[in-house]
Amino acid sequence: MATVVELNLDGRVSLLTLDAAELETVHLPIVRELDRQWKKSAGRLIVFLSGPPGAGKTTLAALWEQLSRLGKIDASVQALPMDGFHYPNRVLDSQEITIDGVRMPLRRIKGRPESFDLPSIRRSLHSMKTGAEVFWPRYDRNLHDPVSEAIPVIANGIIIVEGLYMLLDLPGWKELRAEADWGIFVECPAEVSRSDLLGRKRTQGRSAEEAAAHYNLVDHYTRQLTMRHRHGIDMLLRIGAGRRPEIVQGKYEQDH
């Protein structure tokens, strides 16, 4: 039996169809475990959800948020994307980087770690961890630019911060893990994520050649980076056939 769940994906309403087995063996156990961890804490439980591009992080975070709204757990869940911390295009256009001997504006590699405002990420996470009032930036898919202080962060509940580099074990980024209570990493086969990413770029108006060039310059590099340099993982999800995730390790298995 299938269940249809309405999700909010970057301001767009999307319908996700789940079979009962996936809901009962993957998603409900995850949100119930996070709810259990939240009840041990006070205020916010901060969860980092990371993985390579095209792994479905945004959909997972939105689904878990919706399950809380449907009353499946006691805690409120709020999904916060890392994309809002991209440097504005005016900054990316004004700065350059050298890749394989070629000098180019940072905007050409938008999506790589260098295109994000890491100090601002660090400050916002620390404020969130200390219980302060926080307004999170949002990435506007129409403007293709961030909008600052667009999302008020809930004061009490489970905060899922999803993004490519939240569990990146490299200088500057690895220190972020101290601000989170839990880390979840999503693995996805390269051929599945590549197909999805190329299709996404085409729907955004890019030609097949432009989509492939961006994949080779940004997404392929990012995949290798996130898969090779990861740390602080409490739960590992693996995307299998039909894009169905399974829990392959984590505190949930250890505690039950």
Range(s) of the domain holding residue 143 = 27-255
- Is the pLDDT reported for residue 256 higher than 60? no
Better-predicted residue by pLDDT, 37 or 192: 37
Better-predicted residue by pLDDT, 194 or 108: 108
167 located within any domain: yes
User: Residue 221: which CATH number?
Assistant: 3.40.50.300
Tokens of 128: 């969130």
49 and 64 Cβ atoms separated by less than 8 Å:
no
Q: What is the pLDDT, as a whole number, of residue 255?
A: 40
Of the listed ranges 19-23, 33-37, 82-86, 118-122, the least confidently predicted one is 19-23
156 located within any domain: yes
Q: What is the pLDDT, as a whole number, of residue 40?
A: 92
Local confidence band at 1 (pLDDT 50, 70, 90 cut-offs): low
- Residues 166-208 have pLDDT tens digits of 999 999 999 999 999 999 999 998 888 888 787 777 777 778 8
Q: What is the pLDDT, as a whole number, of residue 15?
A: 85
62 located within any domain: yes
- Count other Cβ atoms within 10 Å, centred on residue 188: 24
- Residues 49-96 have pLDDT tens digits of 999 999 999 999 999 999 999 999 999 999 999 999 999 999 999 999
- Residues 117-176 have pLDDT tens digits of 999 999 999 999 999 999 999 999 888 999 999 999 999 999 999 999 999 999 999 999
Q: What total of structural domains would you count in the chain?
A: 1
176 and 125 Cβ atoms separated by less than 8 Å:
yes
List the alpha helices (DSSP H) in 145-245.
190-203, 208-214, 220-228
How far out from the chain centre does Cα 104 lie?
Answer: 27
15 located within any domain: no
219 located within any domain: yes
Q: What is the pLDDT, as a whole number, of residue 207?
A: 83
145 located within any domain: yes
- Is the pLDDT reported for residue 238 higher than 60? yes
216 located within any domain: yes
The pTM of the full predicted model, rounded to 2 decimals, is: 0.92
Q: Which residues pair with 160 in a beta bridge?
A: 47, 79
